[in-house]
Amino acid sequence: MRRPLVLLTAAPAALAALTAVVLAASPAAAARGCAPRADEVRFDDGRLLVERSERAVDPQTVRERWWSCWRPTGRRTLLTDRRHAAAADDVGLLAVRHGRVVVLAGGGRLDAYDGRDGAHTARVPVLGVVRELAVTAEGRVAALQDEGAAVRALYGGDATKGCLLDAGRPTGRRDAPFGGLAVRGERVTWFRDGVALAQDLTRLRCTG
């Protein structure tokens, strides 16, 4: 005996809810979620949007905030929210690497974030003028800085710590420059006194 065919029909409200979910997950809807909202757009390559806003808290203090928005998913995240003296210690966008790692500088440090979800991936101190910057695919950072005319220092950092990796004169023996930062995987390499050196940034050992 054949069984009768039963047709199941979804209620209109359920269909509307399902349609809304599908639309929200579509690329067009995700892109609309990354429409600029803050005071200033500091970076926009069609996939990653980086924005900044600043508001006065009182006559001496401002509140500065930075956001990223990843258009493939429409995810918008607050990267940093800082209060500082007006016209001092402003945060700046130093670089965007690998199309998604946002490096901000200000307040005596560099901070790196994954622009897709806002994850904080690295922090290193800034004690001088940054001459070279290296950023790994995982967002770890190495920054070569001039701390005065006679001292050049290399710092490396991950999400939990920043370390002094090396230091010396900007130009060493036989006029060999201290620099040439490069990234290989999660390792950073450089030259000092004509010698090639390297540090695995996943194995930082901070002593100071």
Residue 26 has what pLDDT? 60
pLDDT at residue 131 in the model: 96
Please give the C-alpha separations between residue 170 and each of 30, 151, 179, 196, in angstroms, as whole numbers: 47, 6, 8, 15
Task: Please tell me which residue, 152 or 205, carries the higher pLDDT value.
Answer: 152
184: pLDDT strictly greater than 60: yes
* Alpha-carbon span 92 to 113, nearest angstrom: 13
- Provide mean pLDDT across the span 18-30: 49
Lowest mean pLDDT among 68-72, 151-155, 202-206: 202-206
* Residue 167, amino acid: A
* pLDDT confidence tier of residue 175, bands split at 50, 70 and 90: confident
pLDDT tier at 173, thresholds 50, 70, 90: confident
The pTM score is 0.83
Residue 163 confidence (pLDDT): 93
Amino acid at 18: L
- Per-residue pLDDT at 18 exceeds 50: no
Reported as a single tens digit per residue, the pLDDT across 46-89 is 999 999 999 999 999 999 999 999 999 999 999 999 999 988 88
129-135, strands of its sheet edge to edge: 129-135, 141-146, 152-157, 162-168
The model's pLDDT over 96-149, given as tens digits with 9 standing for 90+, comes to 999 999 999 999 999 999 999 999 999 999 999 999 999 999 999 999 999 988
